[in-house]
Structure 1
Amino acid sequence: MKIGLIGLDTSHSEIFTRLLNDSSDPHHVAGGTITHAFPVFSEDLPISRDRFLHYKEIVENKYKVKIVENIDLFMKSVDAVLLATVDGRNHLLWLKNIVHYKKPIFIDKPIVMSSDELKTVVELSENFQTPIMSSSSLRYAQSITNKETSDIVSAYIYGPLPQQQAMPGYFWYGIHSLEMIVTLFGTDIVTIKKEKYENYELLYLTFATNRQVIFRGDYDWHNRFGGIIHYKEQIETFKLWQDEQPYYRNLLVEIIAFFNTSKSPVSLDETAQIIKLIEQINSLE
């Protein structure tokens, strides 16, 4: 399977390409190869602009991916698309440019920047019969997928929550921890409380089942996603950075299956609920 990559301005550009294209990598994912890349970055977003040339160099020269700057040629050269620009503000625009080709599309986080935009994504998917998937890699981390969720009573979850003005609040890094929480607890959240401190914030979530989650988000970036889960009769701790399999690999396994079947393991309805949750959290002071 030939896979096209839109966006060369994020570490995912290198990670996805390495895991799919390098068969010698110990975590190689078979079933598809990134063969073409459409070079995209956002001039007004430093995390995009300042990393573009670095990742373009790696993808093009190290992994021999063909750079194509004509979107029609790009789409006709591939079987499926990874829309992986770091800037969530442009995802809907790019989707509008490619959805009519009717090829499976994975949209990296954040899928879009509002519930209204998400409604448009759903409409485009339905109107053009184009399958669309979006998911955080943390949803498929070993420490999450191996958990029995039915007996969970409560949890303390922690992770990085660096801020980006262009993607405020939980749209950038916070969305990953929220997807981890939703995977374990579902989306039936009835109360939300937020407390802000100098270097971090605490989020208190109560679910319709009376289960509770406390999330601590550190404003400084780090890679330590983890938590403590309370069951009725035991307590389990988990640290994603210690998992044997990297969560990006597990996500790519799901993406390749989606590209082959056109059936997303994460519904757009659930994705819409996550976007709505982010909007609710961001509205709190």
Structure 2
Amino acid sequence: MNRRKFTFAAATLGLGSAVYGASAFSFPSLKKRVGVVGLDSSHAIAFTKELNANTTNESYKGYQVVAAYSMGSPSIPLNAERIPKFTEEIKKLGVEVVASLDALLRKVDVVLLETNDGNVHLQQAEIILKARKPLFIDKPIANSYEDASKIFELADKYKTPVFSTSSLRYITGIEEIDKKTVLGADIYSPAYTEPSHKDLYWYGIHGVEMLFTLLGQNCVSVQTQHTTDFDSYIGEWDGGRIGTLRGIRKGADGFGGVVFIQDKIVQLGAFQGYNPLLKQIISFFETGKEPVQRLETLAVCKFIDAAHQSRLEGGTKVILNNK
């Protein structure tokens, strides 16, 4: 077997994002109850503060976080500190903290899965989707292409919509670019790692999602250069287009990049916060339409898995099998 070729089992997932009939997930106007699963992510608090403090914001359509379950992975050192802290914080925001996932599902209509451990998302998602609760999975969707594929299969099985994305898809300037004109992009992002995850799934996925937002799902190869403090990823997309990601772990960090298009070079702006993403999530809960196509989400996972393999093999170019 050619170790330079990174192959993936094909999942029978259709050609695009699924849209389920309104009867599968829509609710009477008075039912706008959001549940948060996982209090080991700062997003759990940020999303709750934004939604619950802005009940008259038309974009949020009355959705409020009413219950939370602190399920997380305390074996990750950061989470051992965060879970008790965020549990107390969310209580102060008027949210009921329940003792089990089943208890939460009885109290809510839709779910934000905020557990930051992608290794347990498949298990958690199965329970939530089986209960027919429309589901947003915060990054990462999983810690492998295989698990991400199974999550979408479960969504089809239970006829319940699910999607996952990074908030950096909505960084200033990115939506105004005509993606058909993009010739390439150089992106930078923090890329802190956690031993339980393949490198980019833990934090650098933000930068990967920016690349795929700009260049689309058809990445054909990736090559990783790794040092203790930095990573550089060179991806080739269809048409010979090049997208690069600089992953930062030392010195000043942030999100941004340069986009090369047909007639000019565009500098991306600053991270806008969570409001643009929350608008997409609420629209998804209302309509069942996935803002990010599942095939693109799976392509992100293929890229990350292949980039990890490239690092393990000393920086070899890894070919993505997109069939």
**Which amino acid is the alignment partner of residue 43 of structure 1?**
P
CA contact (8 A) 1:42 1:49 kept: yes
Range with bigger deviation, 124-133 or 21-30: 21-30
Asked if 1:13 is matched to 2:39, the reply is no
**Which amino acid is the alignment partner of residue 249 of structure 1?**
N
Residue 125 of structure 2 aligns with which residue? 95
Separation (CA, whole Å) in 2 of partners of 1:16 and 1:25: 15
Residue 161 of structure 1 aligns with which residue? 191
Residue 142 of structure 2 aligns with which residue? 112
Separation (CA, whole Å) in 2 of partners of 1:46 and 1:123: 32
Separation (CA, whole Å) in 2 of partners of 1:221 and 1:134: 29
Asked if 1:280 is matched to 2:297, the reply is no
Per-residue CA deviations over 1:169-219 (Å, capped at 9, x if unaligned) read 111111111111000001212232222234212111111112112211112
Residue 130 of structure 1 aligns with which residue? 160
**Which amino acid is the alignment partner of residue 292 of structure 2?**
V
> Structure 2, unaligned stretches of length 5 or more?
1-31, 312-323
Residue 83 of structure 2 aligns with which residue? 52
| Ranges of 4+ aligned residues in structure 1 off by more than 3 Å | 24-31, 220-223
Residue 291 of structure 2 aligns with which residue? 265
SS in 2 for 1:281: helix
Q: 2:107 aligns with which of 74, 77, 89?
A: 77
For the structure 1 residues 27 and 49, does the alpha-carbon distance in structure 2 shift closer, same or farther, using more than 3 Å as the test?
Answer: farther
Range with bigger deviation, 195-204 or 19-28: 19-28
Q: Which has the higher contact order (CA 8 A, sep 6+)?
A: 2
> Structure 1, unaligned stretches of length 5 or more?
none
Separation (CA, whole Å) in 2 of partners of 1:40 and 1:54: 13
Deviation at 1:223, TM superposition (A): 5.4
**Which amino acid is the alignment partner of residue 191 of structure 2?**
L
Residue correspondences, number: 280
Separation (CA, whole Å) in 2 of partners of 1:224 and 1:68: 35
For the structure 1 residues 118 and 17, does the alpha-carbon distance in structure 2 shift closer, same or farther, using more than 3 Å as the test?
Answer: same
Separation (CA, whole Å) in 2 of partners of 1:136 and 1:227: 16
Instruction: Provide the aligned C-alpha RMSD in A.
Output: 2.0
Separation (CA, whole Å) in 2 of partners of 1:191 and 1:283: 12
Deviation at 1:240, TM superposition (A): 2.2
Residue 22 of structure 1 aligns with which residue? 53
Residue 141 of structure 1 aligns with which residue? 171
**Which amino acid is the alignment partner of residue 38 of structure 2?**
G
Separation (CA, whole Å) in 1 of partners of 2:80 and 2:287: 35
Separation (CA, whole Å) in 2 of partners of 1:28 and 1:102: 24
**Which amino acid is the alignment partner of residue 276 of structure 2?**
N
Separation (CA, whole Å) in 1 of partners of 2:55 and 2:297: 34
Q: What TM-score do you get using the length of structure 2 for normalisation?
A: 0.81
SS in 1 for 2:258: strand
